[in-house]
Amino acid sequence: MSTSTSTAVRTATRPASPARRALGRTVADIERRTPAHRDRAIDGLRALALLAVPTGHWLLGGFTRDDAGALHNASPLSSFAGLAPASWVLQMLGIFFLVGGYASVLSFRRRKGSTGQWLRGRIARLGRPVLGVTAVWAAMIPVLGTLGVPYDTLRTGSTLVIQPLWFVGVYTVVTALTPYCVRSARRLGGWAAAPLLGSVAVVDALRYGPYADAMPSWLSLVNILPGWMFAYQLGVCWGEKRIGRRGAWLLLGGGAVLFAALLVLFHYPASMVGVPGQARTNSHPPSLLVLALAAAQSGAAILLRDRIAGRLRRPALWAPVVVVNLSAMTILCWHQTALLAAAVPASFAGRVPGLTTAPESWAWIGERLAWMPVFAALLVVIARYARGFEAPWTRATKARRAAAGLLAAGFAVFALGLA
C-alpha cells in the first residue's frame, strides 16, 4: 500500500471530533423535529432575504473617523457608482414581504381566536425585540459616554441601530391589513397587486415629472404603504393559490422589463439604497424601481419554489435555515450593533483599514470583506443573549415593561435627532 493510500485510509477512519459529533446531532435533531408539512421553500426564501439585510448594511455602510476620533457614516457607493448592481442583489425586501404575505395567509387560516387576537399576537412578536434593542441602547448610551465614546459616535451608532427598524413599523401596518388583502386576492387574483403598482407609478410621475417643482415635499410619503404592500399582496395571492407558473413568468418578465426601462429611459438612480449626496433615492420611500425589482424577484421565487424545497431536504442545508428563521427579529434588530461592536473600539486605535477608514478605494472593499466574518461572529455572540427578547415576556412586571417602553422612547428621540 502506498503512503498516500494509507494516509487516506487513516483520515477516513479517524473518529470525528466532539464538536463535529455535537453538530451532527443538532442537525439530525432539527431534521427529526421538522413537521412533514413544513414549507421549506418559504423558510429558505425568508432566511435568504433576512441574511441579505446585514450583508448589505455591512458591505455598503462604512465610516470615516474625524480628528477627534468620532465616527461618521459613509458609503462606498458615493465613490463607486459601479457597485450599484450589488444593491440589486442585496435588496431583497420584496422577497421578505412576499413570504410574509404567504405565511400570514396560512397563519390567518389557522387562527383559533378572533382576527383581533391573531393580530395582537403577530404585533407582539414583532414588537418585543424592537423594544428590547432600543431599551438596551438607551441604557448603554450614558455608559458609553462615560467611558469616553465621543458624542458624534453615539449619534452615528444610534442612527444605524434605529435605521432598519422602520421595517417593523411598515410590516406591522401591512400585517394588520391581511384580511383585506385576502379578500382582494380571492376577488381579483394576482391582479390585486396592480392598483398598488399603479398608485406608486402615479406618485412617481408627479414627483419626477414635468410638474415636480409644484408638488409638495410630503407627496413621496404616499408611496410608503402601497410600495411595500405590493410584494406582500403578491404573497397573499400566492398563498391563496391565485398565482401559478404563468403568473410567475409574467411577474419575472414584466418586472425585469420595467426595471430596465426605468433605468435606461427614465433615468432612475441605479442604487436600490440611498447614496449620500444624491437628490433622489429609490428605497426611502420606495420608488417604482423597487416594485419592478420586487415583481421580478417574486416571479423567480415562485418559479424556483419546488427546486428550493428539494435542496432543503438535505439536513445540512435545512438546519441553518431553521436557526436563521428562529432568530429572524434578533438578526434584524442587532446586526448593526455587531458592526458597531467592532468599529467603536477600533476608533480608539486610529485608522483601522476597512473599519474606520473612508470607503474611497477598491482596497477598502477587500478590507471590509475581511471583516465580515468578525461581524458575523459578534452577531452570534450578541444573539445568544438577545434572543430572549423574542420570547414572551412572562416574567416581566408591568413596571419593568413600562421602564423598557420609556427607555425605548428616549432612545428613539435621541437617534432621530429630536432632542
Over residues 106-135, the pLDDT tens digits come to 999 988 889 999 999 998 899 999 999 999
Residue of 229, 228, 253 whose CA lies nearest to 91? 228
Rounded CA gap, 211 and 167, in Å?
31
Model confidence at 417: pLDDT above 90 = no
CB-CB contact of 395 with 125 (8 Å): no
The x, y and z cell numbers of residue 1, run together, are 500500500
Find residue 119's DSSP bridge partners: none
Percent of the chain with pLDDT over 70: 95
Percent of the chain with pLDDT over 90: 67
CB burial string 20-51: b at 16+ within 10 A, e below: eeeeeeebeebeeebeeeebbbbbbbbbbbbb
CB-CB contact of 289 with 273 (8 Å): no
Q: Where are the alpha helices (DSSP H) in 209-327?
A: 224-239, 245-264, 288-303, 305-311, 315-326
CB burial string 158-182: b at 16+ within 10 A, e below: bebbbebbebbebbeebbebbeebb
Place of cell 413600562: 402
- The upper half-sphere exposure of residue 68, i.e. CA atoms within 13 Å in the direction of its Cβ, equals 9
Mean pLDDT check: name the lowest of 41-50, 78-87, 161-170, 297-306: 78-87
Query: What are 200-254's pLDDT values in tens digits?
Result: 999 999 999 998 889 998 999 999 999 999 999 999 999 999 999 999 999 999 9
Q: By 3-state DSSP, what share of the chain in percent is helix, strand and coil, each rounded to 5?
A: 75, 0, 20
Rounded CA gap, 387 and 334, in Å?
10
How far from the centroid of its chain's Cα atoms is residue 166's Cα?
Answer: 11
Query: Residue 121 to residues 82, 101, 106, 116, 282: CA-CA distances in angstroms?
Result: 44, 16, 15, 9, 32
CB-CB contact of 56 with 91 (8 Å): yes
CB-CB contact of 186 with 242 (8 Å): yes
In the chain, the largest separation of any two C-alpha atoms, in whole Å, equals 86
pLDDT of residue 356: 94
pTM: 0.91
Model confidence at 8: pLDDT above 50 = no
Query: What are 32-85's pLDDT values in tens digits?
Result: 888 888 899 999 999 999 999 999 999 988 999 999 999 999 988 888 877 888
pLDDT of residue 9: 47
pLDDT of residue 286: 94
Query: Residue 260 to residues 88, 257, 270: CA-CA distances in angstroms?
Result: 12, 5, 10
Rounded CA gap, 201 and 85, in Å?
22
The x, y and z cell numbers of residue 138, run together, are 438607551
Model confidence at 375: pLDDT above 90 = yes
Amino acid at 372: M
- Look over the chain and give the mean of its residue pLDDT values, rounded to a whole number: 90
Place of cell 479517524: 14
